[in-house]
Amino acid sequence: MHSCIKDPDWSAQGFDQGCLSDGNQPAYMDADPGSYMHSTLDKCCSTHFAWNYDGCMGLLDDTCVRALWYPDWEGTNTGCLRDGAEPLYMTENSVAYLFSTKRDCCEEHYSFALDECLGTSAGTSGRKYYPDWLGDNTCKNNGEAPTYMVQNPAMWLSDSLEACCETNYSWKKAECMGAAFSAASNGLYYPDWAGTNDRCINDEAVPAYMVQNPAMWLSDTLEACCNTHYSWKKAECMNGGTLPSTTASDLYFPDWDGADNSCIKDTASSRAPLYMSKTWFYDTLEKCCSAHYQYNMSGCTGQPVSSVASGASASSTGKYYVDWKNFKCSKDCDSGTAGCGGFAQSWDVLYDSKDQCCREGLGWSYKNCIA
């Protein structure tokens, strides 16, 4: 095949792909020349690399296919050119005057008017941000956006770093923005999993994975963050991770967090959890132990379990109490009397009827209790 014929070269990566005329095209292209072989570079580039036409044609600022950049001192003296018409003294001292990229030429000879120098080419992005797919894969505003981006600014160019990162690198926004992003500067709150794990904060240390998924992790207000991530201890979360200042009830509550299977008193030094409502509190230790630690009455109350003495000291109320051994409700009267379950202990909670006892004392097993 004649070496002037152009064929697409897909062996390179990304924007380095283009058209060749080296006569080494693959056999499948020779077998189908109508699809792959072209008489001009323009035809080959427009057919196979329209998305990178300027790069394929060698027209981009960072290519040296046609010529090198030089300072235009003998022309308008406002920027650099690469038309191949540089003066002889520049050609003879190429290290000082000729550059492979426009930016290098502008920074060397027009640093005092860099924006103007870079702007003399129709293919520059000025100070707008663009995604640097072929570089370090982040957003930049160095004026070196590819021509296809400059020609479609609505899609590719952004006025701010955050807008560029959000549009093009939302999955790694924090990394894209570097130190520019902080939850505090945006007024957002996030759960402090890595800290005390009992509050929401809006400092500078928001984790990257939270920034990358703001809908899940970041909240506009402290209350919204606490509702979402610490609903079971919202008051503590809203108070900066500490319990709000309230007066202790001085009542007994089950100490689920303890290891003794017992009840303790709600005091300033041993506060009840915030989730506990008034139904969890009892005015006596015995009532609390009977309601929650019937299986450990002796350990909970600190007293040996014994039957109430018979005779004159024993009295019947005719009310009902929970028989934790059988998970039934028994009547508080002498066990020798029909329908009686024996005298209630001093700590047993008494109910006016069996129905009330089964509903309130054994509600989770009501049908079995009432039967």
Confidence of residue 351 (pLDDT cuts 50, 70, 90): very high
> Does 114 share its domain with 134?
no
Using the predicted structure, report yes or no on whether residue 335 has a pLDDT greater than 80. no
49 within 8 A of 55, measured Cβ to Cβ: yes
pLDDT at res. 213: 73
- In this structure, are 194 and 232 located in the same domain? yes
325 and 361 share one domain? yes
Q: In this structure, is residue 176 part of a structural domain? A: yes
In a domain, 247, yes or no: no
Q: What pLDDT is recorded for position 53? A: 75
pLDDT at 212: 66
User: What DSSP element (H or E) covers 254?
Assistant: strand 252-254
Instruction: Inform me whether the pLDDT recorded for 191 exceeds 70.
Output: yes
Q: Structurally, how many domains does the chain consist of?
A: 6
Q: State the pLDDT at residue 315.
A: 67
Interatomic CA distance for residues 139 and 128, integer angstroms: 10
Maximum mean pLDDT: which of 142-156, 237-251, 309-323: 142-156
pLDDT of residue 119: 65
Burial of 67 (0-12, 13-18, 19+ CB in 10 A): middle
The mean pLDDT of 174-180, rounded to a whole number, is: 66
In this prediction, residue 125 carries a pLDDT of 67
Expressed as residue numbers, the domain containing 141 is 130-180
Judged against a pLDDT cut of 50, whether residue 133 lies above it is answered with yes
Q: CA nearest 24: which of 7, 40, 47, 42?
A: 7
Find the range with the poorest average confidence among 127-136, 179-188, 217-226: 179-188
pTM: 0.27
Residue 160 belongs to a domain:
yes
Q: What does the alpha-carbon distance between residue 160 and residue 167 come to, in Å, rounded to a whole number?
A: 11
pLDDT for position 329: 92
pLDDT, mean of residues 314-324: 82
The answer to whether position 2 is within a domain reads no
Q: Quick one: pLDDT at residue 198? A: 75
Tell me which residue of 293, 305, 197, 200 sits closest to 254, measured CA to CA.
293
Instruction: Please tell me the least confidently modeled range out of 169-183, 284-298, 300-314, 352-366.
Output: 300-314
pLDDT value for 7: 67
On the question of pLDDT at 365 being above 60, the answer is: yes
pLDDT value at residue 353: 92
**DSSP symbols for 185-233:** TTT-BEE-TTTTSSSEE-SS---HHHHTSHHHH-BSSHHHHHHHH-GGG
**Are residues 195 and 166 part of one domain?**
no
113 and 78 fall within a common domain: yes
**Residue-by-residue DSSP string for 27-77:** HHHHH-HHHH-BSSHHHHHHHH-GGGHHHHHT-STT--SS--BEE-TTTTS
Lowest mean pLDDT, pick from 68-82, 95-109, 146-160, 303-317: 303-317
Same domain, yes or no, for 331 and 366? yes
Q: What is the reported pLDDT for 178?
A: 66
**For residue 185, is it within any domain?**
no
Task: Collapse the DSSP code of 8 into the 3-class scheme (helix H, G, I; strand E, B; otherwise coil) and give the result.
Answer: strand
Q: Is the pLDDT of residue 121 over 60?
A: no
256 and 231 both lie in a single domain? no
> Is the pLDDT assigned to residue 128 strictly greater than 70?
yes
Q: Is residue 123 part of a domain?
A: no
12-59 pLDDT, tens digit per residue, is 776 677 888 777 888 888 888 888 888 877 788 888 887 777 777 766
Of 268, 283, 301, the domain-final residue: 301
Q: Can you tell me the mean pLDDT for 61-76?
A: 72
What was the pLDDT predicted at 313? 35
Residues 297, 318 share a domain = no
Answer yes or no: is pLDDT of 87 > 80. Answer: yes
Mean pLDDT across 59-86: 75
Most confident of 101-110, 164-173, 349-358: 349-358
Question: 364 in a domain, yes or no?
Answer: yes
- Overall average pLDDT of the 329-352 stretch: 84
Average pLDDT of the residues in 323-347: 83
Q: Mind listing the pLDDT tens digit for each residue in 219-269? A: 888 888 988 988 887 877 877 754 454 577 788 999 887 777 789 998 888
So what's the pLDDT on residue 1?
Answer: 39
Asked if residue 23 and residue 49 are part of one domain, the reply reads yes
259 within a domain of the structure (yes/no): yes
User: What mean pLDDT is reported for the chain?
Assistant: 78
